[in-house]
């Protein structure tokens, strides 16, 4: 295997073309066996339901080269299960877990030369996508679907290491309705979140932090990342809410927090609790943990750390999780799946 000639240590978090992607078609009630293609484009009917009516769900996960040279994926069965929940909620056929994992095996094998070397901080980002491709003009589920898995090598989300961010509590806009689709990874949620994100940036903050849409009283999450805080007595708390996307990173941090004695708790978190936290972070696959420097609510600001130094809890949680992903610390929870590659 001749690795691609890339400047691995300086990859940004952007799309970069690789050799192949894999595509499966659902037709007449069943999936085909999938084909590997080098085409970056999708030929599609202009009346496809994904274009008009938002029948679209996606996932995001990472493949790592570990210290011992193994190429592994982190908790992909959880992504497969989450995609099943997304499909069910917007009336798309599900991708069975075995097919989801097989797609990852095949597409990573085909793009083996793009798996970043251990120690560079880079990873292979894997993006599964399921779209309604059948033509409809009335609002109805499509009769044809495509499941694609594409990969792209990415650098760490923050190139210069941890970069604490400033959040602002968003009161004007909601990301998702209480009994809507905020808890599944469907494309429409992200278009809906763009204006709150732009507003936050225009006002000098990094990102918006949403409140629950029903009462505007509890914390939800921040754009594409879950939120957690550390209480004064050292407890890891993260919002319980019907409109938060269940993050697999957060699910893992809840376990790690428990392993570290931080007595994790998922519960409704009132907005004024932000003033009692000693540390806070956002979490998701892309950045793993983004330390939160400050949260602004109305005219008050809660501050957790400085511009260039994460809080102690964020740093500890981050190191433990990344070390498990890279095979530096033991995977005691069985989160790592070694990929069967041909070379």
Ligand X SMILES: *Cc1c(COP(=O)(O)O)cnc(C)c1O
- Interface contacts to ligand X, rule CB under 6 A: 60, 185, 221, 224-226, 245, 247-250, 284-285
Active-site annotation holds for 163: no
Q: How far is the CB of 36 from ligand X (least distance, A)?
A: 25
* Calpha distance 229→245 (Å, rounded): 17
Give least dist CB 272 to ligand X, A.
Answer: 23
Q: What distance lies between CA 114 and its chain's CA centroid?
A: 20
Q: Choose between 21 and 249: whose C-beta lies nearer to ligand X.
A: 249
At 148, list the tokens. Answer: 């694609």
CB 76 within 8 Å of CB 334 = no
Contact 89, 36 (CB under 8 A): no
- Output the DSSP codes for 48-105: BHHHHS--EEE--EEEEE-TTS-EEEESHHHHHHHHHHHHHHTT-PPPPHHHHHHHHH
Distance (Å, rounded) from C-alpha 311 to C-alpha 48? Answer: 47
Q: Which is nearer to ligand X, 144 or 207 (CB)?
A: 207
Residue 166 vs 238, nearer CB to ligand X = 238
Q: Which of 67, 185, 216, 300 is catalytic?
A: 185
Q: Helices (DSSP H) in 122-280: which residue ranges?
A: 188-202, 248-259
Report, as residue numbers or ranges, the catalytic residues: 185
């Amino acid at each position: 295997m001749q690795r691609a000639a890339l400047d691995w240590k300086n990859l940004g978090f952007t799309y970069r073309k690789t050799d192949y992607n894999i595509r499966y078609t659902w037709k007449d009630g069943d999936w085909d066996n999938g084909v590997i293609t080098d085409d970056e484009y999708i030929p599609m009917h202009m009346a496809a339901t994904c274009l008009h009516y938002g029948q679209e769900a996606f996932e995001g996960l990472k493949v790592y080269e570990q210290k011992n040279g193994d190429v592994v994926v982190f908790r992909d069965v959880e992504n497969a299960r989450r995609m099943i929940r997304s499909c069910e909620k917007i009336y798309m056929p599900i991708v069975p877990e075995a097919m989801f994992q097989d797609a990852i095996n095949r597409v990573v094998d085909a793009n083996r030369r793009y798996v970043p070397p251990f120690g560079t901080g880079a990873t292979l980002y894997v993006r599964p996508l399921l779209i309604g491709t059948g033509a409809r003009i009335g609002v109805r589920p499509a009769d044809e679907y495509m499941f694609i898995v594409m990969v792209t090598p990415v650098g760490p989300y923050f190139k210069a290491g941890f970069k604490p961010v400033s959040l602002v509590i968003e009161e004007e806009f909601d990301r998702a309705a209480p009994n809507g689709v905020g808890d599944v990874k469907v494309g429409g949620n992200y278009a809906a979140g763009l204006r709150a994100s732009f507003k936050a940036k225009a006002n000098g903050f990094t990102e918006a932090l949403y409140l629950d849409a029903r009462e505007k009283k509890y914390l939800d999450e921040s754009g594409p990342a879950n939120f957690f805080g550390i209480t004064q007595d050292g407890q890891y708390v993260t919002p319980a809410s019907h409109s938060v996307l269940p993050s697999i990173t957060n699910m893992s941090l809840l376990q790690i927090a428990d392993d570290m004695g931080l007595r994790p708790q998922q519960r409704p978190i009132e907005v004024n609790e932000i003033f009692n936290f000693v540390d806070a972070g956002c979490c998701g696959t892309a950045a793993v943990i983004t330390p939160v420097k400050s949260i602004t609510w109305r005219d008050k600001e809660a501050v957790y750390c400085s511009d260039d130094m994460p809080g102690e809890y964020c740093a500890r949680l981050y190191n433990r999780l990344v070390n498990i992903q890279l095979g530096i610390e033991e995977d005691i929870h069985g989160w790592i799946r070694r990929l069967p590659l041909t070379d």
